A and B are shown apart, each in its own frame.
Chain A
Amino acid sequence: MRKTWLIIKREYLAGVKTRAFILTTIGLPLMGAGFVLLIMFLANRQPTQTFRLVIVDEAGGMAWSVSQGLDAKLPNGQPEFTIVESVDRPPSPDRVQDDLRSRINSGALDGYLLVPADLSQSAELHTHNPGNFSLEGPLTAAVNRAVILKRLDARGVHVEDASAIANAPDLKLIKVSKTGESVEKGQSIGIAIAVVVLLYVSLVAYGVITMRSVLEEKTTRTMEVLVSSVRPFELLAGKVLGVAGLAFSQLLIWAVSAALLVSYGALMTKASGATSPTSDVHIPGSLVVYVVLFFVGGYFLYSAMFAAIGAACSSEQDAQYLQWIAMGPLVFTMFIYTLILTDPSSTLSIVLSEIPFFAPVLMPLRISLQTPAFWQIGLSILLLFLTAVGVIYASGKIYRIGVLMYGKRPTIPELARWLRYS
């Protein structure tokens, strides 16, 4: 126990003093904040240029009605769209479109809207940049509105003020949870994605730190000296716990500085009388507890695997191959989490979040979106910790043999054989 403690202490002190630890402790939150600001900036970015549009109206009598719906103004006061020209029922549509395409390519025009003769078909926007999402909303609304008015007209309903009928209010999303209701402005998804990214990144990062640390002892042959005083299992335990200490120090620094920043921000906005941008963000305490719990379980599960991989390899290159054994399930959660985001209570979501190798990321994700039944959380935690114990035991065996084995990288069947040794 004393020896394990000595190893923990050394591991922790050696880690805390590295440049990498100091840089990531300060740098990662700054980088994260930078990304969030960039995304917010890009998402809220308004177009500044008026869009030069031609309406090709194959149905006839639609162009005016559509252009009425495109009266929005840009933030700089300019109209969002100008209708350069309307073509009513062109006799040779193909030729007209050819001509318009060459005008777009020459830069004289930004796009043309094709209203089909059969109004049950889709309208088409032809433009050089279809990725500009800010066009889609107003154009769709304008076309829909024109089509509705046309159909009302056909049924003999004449409307003086079209917008009074066709303009509907936007949809407002409200999240229902056991703690009450709150207006949704994307913060639920935001928190969910933050939980996923935080867990994924920390499990991978601290796992790799553990692996590297084992590998360093092997490549510098310090291991040969260490094993003459410590049992390999004590060494493994000390290493995993030492890096755990690093992880908790770092996460604690981040959590405390984030809390200070948020309360400082709230104080400042309150003083200035504005509403705080963070006042809608409410992180329930239970979520924090679950995230910590799943991180602990996940950390022991994965860092034991990473440590065993470090022990089995003799060089960084070897480790880069074998680390996928541990990295694979974590990367898989990054591919699969969007499925859970859209339907957190589906059978697939439930099953995936109960699998111990995915649970550390996926169960906190489900909890943040829509707290599942307690038995699901409890079972997931139980399975996770049981598996972690099993994996630590198996890793201990691989570690015991691997730490003193040099030479070629072991294959997976060889690793399996090591499990049966000793």
Chain B
Amino acid sequence: MPVGQEERQFGARAGTATLEKNGNSGVAVSLENVTKSYDGVTAVDAVSLQVRQGAILGLLGPNGAGKTTTIRMVMNILIPDEGSIRVFGEPVSDETRQAIGYLPEERGLYPRMEVRRVIVFLAALRGLSESEAEKRANEWLARFDLSDWAEKKVHDLSKGMQQKVQFICAVLHKPKIVILDEPFSGLDPVNTATVKDIMLELRDQGSTIVLSTHRIEQVEKMCDSICLIDKGHNILAGDLRAIKQSYGKNTVNIEFSGPDGFLNHPAIASVNRFASGAEAKLKPGADPQEILKLAVESGARINHFELLEPSLNDIFIEKTGHA
């Protein structure tokens, strides 16, 4: 083993010691002021973040926000220019990434290997016996409707099927931490739902999940906490419930027929009009009751009136000023 690796290990052991002293065991992954730039472009700028053990963290933001760079640094694939990253209290190293099941953004499978062989090989590398790996591979392949493809070569599969195989490889060995970079890309709604179900199952079994995606609306219901990233900056992080509550119920969903002139009321900040009604975002301090009253008075027939928390998308737009 190279000398450098030994040094890293010593570093890691020192980290364990401080961890035990602090009793800081609730955090699976923590980033502190992490910065990374390529050729003068800052991809990740002073991001700090904590992922609670046993929670699902949504790492959200538009394309090019710095999500993948952040994940690669956690995986010790990229080395941050500044700041520190810890996994279970230990500085990231070749060793810490062994605890992580990883689904990279791009496909990472041997194209000329048979599907089941790849899965069994990667699982065996994670310490499973080959017979156990094979048993679990068959179960997972069946669950994803891929049993007929088990003997086919990876490059014969469609992009969505490869994505499913890659997902199986990331979770088959039940890792303590699962990092999924755009897990839904190429998946149809049925498979997207399956992947979501499995993520919730894994969380219930105690795994910590980091989920990175640019499709904010797709994941907001399943995340325990979120981290919104834009242009390398962490613009909002924390418990999803707490964040939403801090914004209050400032959106009105109103279904009606008849005149819609009441939607021009000055207390309404923005309107999203549908065939059967509208979603209106109120200005801070505005009273939703006022809007209802105005609507009824204007002659509109109200079928449904509901106060909503802002969607993550709305919060993101408000925070960044762009979609």
Contact = CB atoms under 8 A, between A and B. Distances in A.
Interface of A: 3, 6-7, 10, 14, 216-217, 220-233, 393, 396-397, 400, 404, 421-422
A85 B95 CA distance: 91
Contacts of A221: 104, 106-108
Contact of A231 (B5, B107, B110): B5
B163 to A, nearest CB: 13
Given A222-B108, A224-B77, 10 more contacts: A6-B124, A223-B108, A224-B75, A224-B102, A224-B108, A225-B108, A225-B109, A225-B122, A233-B1, A422-B8
Task: Name the residue among A222, A393, A421 with the largest chain B CB count within 10 angstroms.
Answer: A222
A422 B4 contact: yes
B113 to A, nearest CB: 7
Contacts, number: 75
Contacts of A223: 108
A149 B100 CA distance: 94
How many B residues are at the interface, by size bracket? 20 to 34
B286 interface: no
B281 to A, nearest CB: 41
Nearest to A403: B77
B265 interface: no
Contacts of A216: 110
A222 B98 CA distance: 15
Contacts of B144: none
A220 B125 contact: no
B109 A220 contact: yes
A396 B2 contact: yes
Contact of A227 (B2, B77, B124, B166): B77
Interface in B119-177: 121-122, 124-126, 166, 169
Nearest to A238: B125
The 9 closest A-B pairs by CB, nearest first: A422-B4, A221-B108, A229-B125, A225-B108, A228-B102, A404-B77, A224-B104, A222-B108, A221-B106
A26 B122 CA distance: 32
10 contacts: A220-B107, A220-B111, A221-B107, A221-B108, A222-B108, A224-B104, A226-B125, A227-B75, A227-B94, A227-B97
Contacts of A233: 1-2, 5
B101 interface: yes
Contacts of A422: 2, 4-5, 8
A183 B236 CA distance: 88
